């Protein structure tokens, strides 16, 4: 078995030299400022050892990756009742599509497309003020990553709010079908802000450890969620974590993962490692171009695909 540190360093160097880097997201103006040359990778093994290279300590906008953590929180709050509001099937459509929502009477296809994540956010918000709900999400991330410095990038949040017309439409549409309980403005305020959390690859890999270890924090041994729930979240990450590029990601990488349009990807090698990569250039499906390529290299070299070596 090759040494993980060597593999991670080699991949980062290969990514640094690649000319094909994808296109940075521009529909959220703040994200358009990201440097296409950036690449970071962090891998945290079951023993707690960190292998990292490139821009692994640079904070970036994690965007949709927080949907994994809000799903975890919402399931902790209302359990399987959540699935009455949101489905578990791949969408096959862009992450902000309204067509499918209309056909399916306001029930989003899964928790990782925008409409689904807005419904999940609404479940967390119920019974709270928006500021309290947002604080709970942020504290959960800080707790998982063991890092109280994780914060929301207010400039990104404001940029999302200014340009989030499609999300406003999705939320109002769901509200008309009774899928959302809270005022649309409240739910969207929390949603825009949790998508604007900034984290480094190291922080993100730390936060994802419980999904790689049957719901437990491997350092403390404490249960974050039940093993069954961790397994189910991983299943949804595998089938729905990369929008309409999810099948291709499963085919090439073979790990549960969740991407964000900030160029980050959180991936889970069950029982082995929590992995975060970041490169702001995206492919046509809105996923990090070099992020996916680097994860494919990592799983091949380490033999980590869940489908076998």
Return d(Cα 9, Cα 11) in angstroms, integer: 6
Cβ atoms 95, 286 nearer than 8 A: yes
Both structure tokens of 256: 């549960």
Backbone angles phi, psi at 52, to 5 degrees: -140, 155
Return d(Cα 139, Cα 175) in angstroms, integer: 28
Closest by alpha carbon to 174, among 188, 163, 160, 153?
188
- Could you identify the residue written with the tokens 């067509």? 99
- Could you identify the residue written with the tokens 């296409």? 36
Cα distances from 24 to residues 151, 169, 289, 297, in angstroms, run 22, 24, 10, 22
Query: Which residues are known to be catalytic?
Result: 64, 67, 191, 243, 261
Task: Count Cβ atoms within 10 A of the Cβ of residue 61 and give its class: 0-12 exposed, 13-18 middle, 19 or more buried.
Answer: buried
């Amino acid at each position: 078995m090759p040494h993980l540190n060597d593999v991670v360093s080699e991949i980062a160097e290969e990514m640094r030299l690649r000319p094909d880097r994808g296109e940075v997201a521009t529909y959220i103006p703040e994200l358009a400022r990201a440097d296409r040359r950036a690449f970071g990778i962090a891998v945290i093994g079951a023993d707690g050892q960190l292998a990292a290279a490139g821009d692994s300590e640079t904070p970036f906008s994690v965007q949709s990756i927080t949907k994994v953590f809000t799903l975890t929180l919402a399931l902790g709050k209302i359990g399987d009742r959540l699935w009455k509001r949101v489905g578990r099937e791949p969408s096959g459509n862009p992450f902000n599509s309204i067509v499918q929502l209309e056909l399916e009477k306001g029930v989003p296809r899964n928790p990782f497309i925008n409409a689904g994540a807005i419904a999940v956010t609404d479940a967390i918000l119920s019974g709270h003020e928006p500021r309290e709900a947002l604080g709970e999400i942020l504290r959960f991330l800080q707790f998982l990553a063991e890092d109280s410095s994780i914060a929301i990038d207010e400039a990104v949040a404001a940029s999302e709010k200014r340009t989030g017309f499609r999300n406003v439409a999705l939320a109002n549409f769901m509200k008309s079908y009774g899928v959302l309980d809270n005022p649309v403005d409240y739910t969207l305020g929390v949603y825009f802000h949790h998508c604007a959390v900034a984290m480094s690859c190291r922080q993100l890999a730390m936060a994802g450890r419980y999904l790689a270890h049957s719901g437990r924090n491997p350092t403390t041994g404490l249960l974050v969620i039940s093993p069954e729930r961790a397994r189910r979240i991983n299943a949804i990450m595998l089938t729905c974590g990369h929008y309409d590029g999810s099948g291709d990601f499963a085919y090439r990488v073979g790990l549960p993962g969740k991407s964000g349009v900030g160029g980050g990807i959180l991936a889970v090698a069950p029982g082995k490692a929590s992995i975060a990569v970041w490169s702001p250039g995206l492919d046509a499906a809105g996923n990090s171009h070099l992020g996916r390529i680097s994860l494919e290299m990592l799983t091949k070299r380490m033999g980590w695909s869940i489908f076998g070596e």
